[in-house]
Amino acid sequence: MKTIEEKAILICDGYHGVHIPHLVVRMFIENDWLHMNFNRPSDIRYDWSDVAEESVNTLLNGCDEEFYWESWEDVLDNLKIEIDGEPYRMLQNQDVWLIPEDCMDEEVSSMDVRVYWR
């Protein structure tokens, strides 16, 4: 059985700063994983049905939008991601990670970097 460190997928380095939400949403929508220098998982599916369309558009327009950070919260809280049939959550602690949904808080906090459940 894989550990959380083996299952966690870094999708955006924190060095991108305020541009992280724009870059992550663009990466998912345009399937542009190479732009971020990360390899796309082989079988990844997104369910945007619980994310407001306005939130997605706001993030795609960039960090100068009025409700940029509220829109990012909407995506973090409501985007459903499945990799190889397993549900994942997107978590941010500076970097943005995909973490298996069934991981316990103790497992997440045991990672080399600190991440938290949203």
Which tokens go with 110? 């045991």
> For residue 115, how many other CB atoms are within 10 A of its CB?
21
Q: What is the pTM of this model?
A: 0.81
Q: For tokens 């894989």, what's the residue?
A: 2
Per-residue pLDDT at 117 exceeds 80: no
Per-residue pLDDT at 114 exceeds 50: no
**Sheet-wide strand order for 80-83:** 9-12, 96-100, 86-92, 80-83, 44-47
The C-alpha angle 19, 30, 53, rounded to 5 degrees, equals: 75
Residue 96 or residue 43, greater confidence: 96
